[in-house]
Structure formats: structure tokens, C-alpha cells
Amino acid sequence: MEAVKMRKPFALLIGLIFSLNIYAQLYIPAGNEIYHFTDRMEIKSSDLLQINIHSSCKPYTYQQVYDFRNLSVNITSVDSSNFIYFKNDYFFETTSGKRAKPILKHFYTQNAALYQVNEENFKLSVNPVLHFAGAIENAENAGTKSHQQLYINTRGAELHGMVDRISFYAFATDNQMRVPLQTQLFGAKMYALPGESFYKNFKGNGVDFFHAEGYISTPISKHINMQFGTSKQFIGDGVRSLILSDFSKQHLFLKFNTNIWRINYQNLYYEMVDSAYTTGAGTYKKKFGATHHLSINASKNFNIGFFETVIFKRENNAYELNYLNPIIFYRAVEHSLGSPDNVILGLDFKWDFLHHFQVYGQIVLDEFLLANMRAQFIKPKTDPSWGWWANKYAAQLGLKVVDVVKVKNLDLQVEYNHIRPYTYGYTNTSLNFTDFNQSMAHPLGANLKELVVMAFYQPTANWNIQVKTFNTLTGIDTSSTLSYGADLLKSSYLKVSNFGNETGQGLRAMIQYYEFKVTYRVAQQLYIDAGYTYRTRKTNEALFNNKNQYFTFGIRLHANSRNFMY
């Protein structure tokens, strides 16, 4: 079938696909393939004002994607199929993906749900979650070679539902995995599994853990929604987020989202684990974070956002009520309390143009003095005032291109990230920007320069090809009593010098990562994956060098692929 181009008929098509608007407060799980598709539609429209899109605030609600029906864009036949696929995931709408022959009359009455209840004031969808994958890894660490079989064994369940005006979501899985070398090294150093909390050893070098998240959500008014539960958040338009990422474990949170006129304003309050090193009886020590994020569609195709985050801790795990103020500047509150809390400020932006391109970026300011910051950019490295340790900032600049060189559904993303030493860290290690020893921003912490390149190609509705690469220059600590600025868990009292600090200082390491993956969509939320991954870290000292490569094959049902890009 040849690609179909349409503008005005597009709205008619989507109007036919979607009918009842009852999912306004139900969120699409992070990692769903619809996120890349909505990026395509936004860029191709290059008109943020049509539906007041604020794509930097993730996860989206089903309503936000539903509103894409109002966009006037050129679409391909694959785009159209993706909309229909998403429509079939609209599991509470009785005509979406309805099956002519259900299983045993009550199961899979619709394509997207194993079991479904669709009453006037009660909606429920229940699905199994399965992910089975295997791989053969060849690895080398500090000169020692190894050969092992990797695997993922995930079983669980997912629930979506609504009771009157309150929606709810629950996701729980039991997992046994043998993970790639870089994840094993991460776990050995951080006592944590990336993206998860507590785990235990399983059959030698495997891991066993339980993953659970869920929330309730309800509209407070026409323009304000409240969400409370345990999950992950992501702020930004890039592969990485330097503001708030979903790399760390799921956390308890309370979120208020206000969307009106050209503005989206988010108040996010969350709980984090201070340190995962706690042993023996008792609970982990807690710390807390609060984030304000204001997103403004300043023009038809330009968006700018401003954010502030404070990380704080009080005796007996008490929450500082002053930080519940939804509009005040956190720095002012910090000063009025006389507290040493960690405040991070910054902005993000994006510019859609020519219906094929998006430029995006982020700037994060953790700590600085204007005079020392000026010296950083104006004076030579030989100047004694250059490279002050507390010039802590991070920057991101990225480009997305859709339908590259007029090849339909071939998309490209290029992203550069730069994070100064000691950014996100703190003198008081309880106030660093981590949760369960995992960074809340970039997976590798700080003190790095990184180039990410990703390509996505969907030749047909059911086939998807992805190529992902990153090259990162960072600096490694070679002593537990000295910090070059990459390890966020170390106090900045351990810094190597007050001045002369530069990105990549320490034992210089170049990390290279390449991934090629082909996915075939068998049925609704059922996928088969096959791929190849190669990763290497090179330094001038063999003790810190490692590399690994593996071929993988797996099947997923209502589950997202595991991300090992770090």
C-alpha cells in the first residue's frame, strides 16, 4: 500500500477512530511506542498551538494523544496504522478493537485486554505481563574474559481502571535476570539495579527482584489534575533528561498538573531513598524532592520551560511543609528557613520548523558565582581563577528529523550532553540528586561529554528497526577518598581542587555503545525482538577497561524493552 498524504482528511480519520472522551486522567505507561509517534506528529505539524502540546512533561495522558486528532499534518499509511493501533489500546471504548470471537466468551472481547469490565461508573482492564528473552554475552573486564548466557524472565499483571472520575493504574512483576556486564558492574558499585530498588542474588550472578508501581488520578477542575502514587517521571524532549529522568527506581509522588491557555504548570513532590547501603533491620533513610516546571508555548512552533528543584531532608523523615507552596521560589524558602538544602534551577526549550525538524535543549544550573562563571568562559585555563569547582552546570542540545531525506517513517535524533564535575552532588551526601544510589538525571552522573545518535525506521505497520549509539567521555575516580566529580554519592569535600577543574578530569574513560534491534509486532501489545549490542570502556589503565557484546532474542506481552544505554 502506498503512503497516503492528507491534511484536512486527517482530522476526519482520527475523528472516526476516537469517540468517547472518558480517559482524560489515565496515563500512558512510560516506554510505550506511542511516544515516538507523537513526536513525529508534533514535528510534522510544527504547530504547538493547535492543541497546546507540552511534550516535555511525561508521561502523557490518553487525552493528550487523543487531542492529536486536531492536528493538520501529512501522514503516511504507517502513521495511519499507528493511530488505529493506538485506538485499539483505548480499551474502555466498546468499539475499539472489538473481537468477533472472544475466548471462552469473557476473555479478549477486545484486542487490547485479557479481561474487561465496561459499566457506566466502573471501567476495568486486566492484562498479563510477560517478557522472556535470552542472549549470549562475550565479555572482558580488567583483562579477564568471560562467556555467559543472559536472560530476562518477567511475569506479572497490569490493571487500568476508572471509578466515576477517579482513574487508577497498577503494574506488578516478578523478575529474574542475568544482566549485561555494565549492569553487573553498576550493581557491584552502587548496591542497586538501574531502574529498580531492592534486589537479591539469584543463581550465582543473576538477580531476583519485584517491581511494583501504581497511582490514582483525578481532575480537580477543568484545567487541573492531581495524581498520587508510585511511578517515574521524565521532563524533557531528549534521550537523556538533565532535569528529571526515569533512570532511577520508581518513587512515591504527588503531582498537580495545570494546563490552560498556552501554559502547562507542574508541581511535583516526591520521596527518595537517601542511601541504599543501609543494612540490618529498619527502613531506608528518606529524603525528599520538590519540582516546579512551567512550560509555555511562546509561539506557534517554539516552547520554553523553566524549572526549579529542591532536595531536602529533615529529622525523623519529616516533610518540609514550606516546600508545598505551589508557586514560590524554592531559593527564597531555603533562605528564609536558614537551611542548607540543595536547589537546582534551569530551563528547557524546543523549536519545531519546516515540518521535519525539531531543535531542543536544556540548561541546568546547580551552583555558581557569576564572577567565577565568567572566568570559566573568558579566561585561559592557566589563570588561577579558571575552573572553580562549584561552577556546576549541565547543558543539552539535540536535533530530531522525521522522514529523513524524504524516506517515509525514517527518523533521526542527535543529542549532545555536557555535565560539569560535581553537578548534582553536594557536600552533604544526603542532599545529592540521587534515589537509591541512582542518578535522578543522567545515568552516568556528572563530569562527562556525550554524543547520542539514534535512528528509527518503520517500513511497515508491524516492523520497527532501531539503531542506538552513544560515545561518552568521562573521568573515573581511582581512590575512594578522592572525587573528580563524576560520582554523585561522594561528598564534594573530597574534591581534588578548588580551581582548575574541567570536564573529563580524573582517569579519562571513553565509553562507546552500539545497539541494533528489530521488532515485529505480532498482535496488540505482543512483540518479538532480536538485536545485537556492543559496549566498551577504554582508559589508559587496564584495570578499568571492559567490553562486552551480545546477541539477544525475546518476546514481550504488555512489557517494554529493558534499557541498557549507560
37 lies in some domain: yes
What is the average per-residue pLDDT within 428-440?
94
* HSE of 553, CA atoms in CB hemisphere, 13 A: 1
Kindly report, residue by residue over 29-57, the tens digit of the pLDDT.
Answer: 888 888 999 999 999 999 998 888 899 99
Amino acid identity, position 553:
F
Distance between CA 185 and CA 511 in Å, rounded?
14
Is the pLDDT assigned to residue 65 strictly greater than 90? no
Nearest by Cα to 33 from 99, 101, 95, 79:
79
> Per mean pLDDT, which of 61-70, 334-343, 444-453 is the most reliable?
444-453
User: Is 563 contained in some domain?
Assistant: no
C-alpha to C-alpha distance for 304 and 316, rounded to whole angstroms: 38
Given this model, what pLDDT does residue 190 score?
A: 86
Q: What is the pLDDT of residue 362?
A: 98
Query: Please, what's the largest Cα pairwise distance for the chain?
Result: 78
How many separate domains does the chain show?
A: 1
In a domain, 118, yes or no: yes
In a domain, 306, yes or no: yes
Range of the domain at 417: 8-557
pLDDT band at 10 (very low <50, low <70, confident <90, very high): very low
Instruction: Indicate the pLDDT class of residue 64, thresholds 50, 70 and 90.
Output: confident
pLDDT value of residue 104: 55
Whether residue 59 has a cis bond before it, omega within 30° of 0: yes
Residue 333, pLDDT above cutoff 80 = no
pLDDT at residue 75, rounded to an integer: 87
The mean pLDDT of 203-225, rounded to a whole number, is: 93
Average pLDDT of the segment spanning 66-82: 84
84: amino acid identity, one letter? I
Weakest-pLDDT range from 75-79, 149-153, 176-180, 302-306: 75-79
Q: What is the Cβ-side half-sphere exposure of residue 466, based on CA atoms within 13 angstroms?
A: 19
Q: Are 274 and 286 in contact (CB under 8 A)?
A: yes
Which of the four pLDDT bands, split at 50, 70 and 90, describes residue 92? Answer: low
Q: Are 346 and 362 in contact (CB under 8 A)?
A: yes
Mean pLDDT score, 382-407: 95
Residue 296, strand partner residues: 263, 304
Instruction: Give CA 442 to chain center in angstroms.
Output: 10
- Mean of per-residue pLDDT scores for the chain: 89
CA distances from 358 to 31, 41, 221, 398, 411 (A): 21, 12, 33, 8, 11
Res 220 pLDDT > 60: yes
Alpha-helical runs (H) found in 152-298: 181-190
Question: How many other C-beta atoms can be found within 10 angstroms of the C-beta atom of residue 428?
Answer: 15
Share of the chain above pLDDT 70, in %: 90
Confidence of residue 7 (pLDDT cuts 50, 70, 90): very low
Confidence of residue 547 (pLDDT cuts 50, 70, 90): very high
pLDDT tens per residue, range 94-136? 455 566 666 756 677 776 788 988 888 898 999 999 999 999 9
Computed on alpha carbons and rounded to an integer, the radius of gyration of the chain in Å comes to 24
What number is the average pLDDT over the span 190-210?
Answer: 90
Phi, psi for 378 (deg, rounded to 5): -105, -45
Residues in contact with 105: Cβ distance below 8 Å, sequence separation at least 6, in sequence order:
none
pLDDT in the model for residue 31 = 81
CB atoms within 10 A of CB 70: 14
Mean pLDDT of 167-173: 96
Alpha-helical segments (H) within 164-267: 181-190
Using CA atoms, how far apart are residues 55 and 376, in angstroms rounded to an integer? 33
- Per-residue pLDDT tens for 445-494? 999 999 999 999 999 999 999 999 999 999 999 999 999 999 999 999 99
Confidence of residue 73 (pLDDT cuts 50, 70, 90): confident
Q: pTM of this prediction? A: 0.92
Pairing of strands 526-538, 200-202: unpaired
DSSP state of 285: P
- What pLDDT is stored for residue 3 in this prediction? 42
Q: Is residue 431 part of a domain?
A: yes
- The average pLDDT across 414-438 equals 96
Give the model's confidence band at 9: pLDDT under 50 very low, under 70 low, under 90 confident, else very high: very low
CATH assignment of the domain containing 453: 2.40.160.130
> In the prediction, which pLDDT does 223 show?
92
According to DSSP H, which parts of 322-414 are helical?
330-337, 370-378
Q: What phi and psi, each to the nearest 5 degrees, are found at residue 134? A: -140, 155
Q: Mean pLDDT over residues 160-178, rounded?
A: 94
Evaluate whether residue 3 is within a structural domain: no
Give exposure, 449-469, as e/b (b: 16+ Cβ within 10 Å): ebebebbbbbeebeebebebb
Cβ contacts of 32 within 8 Å, gap of 6 or more: 560
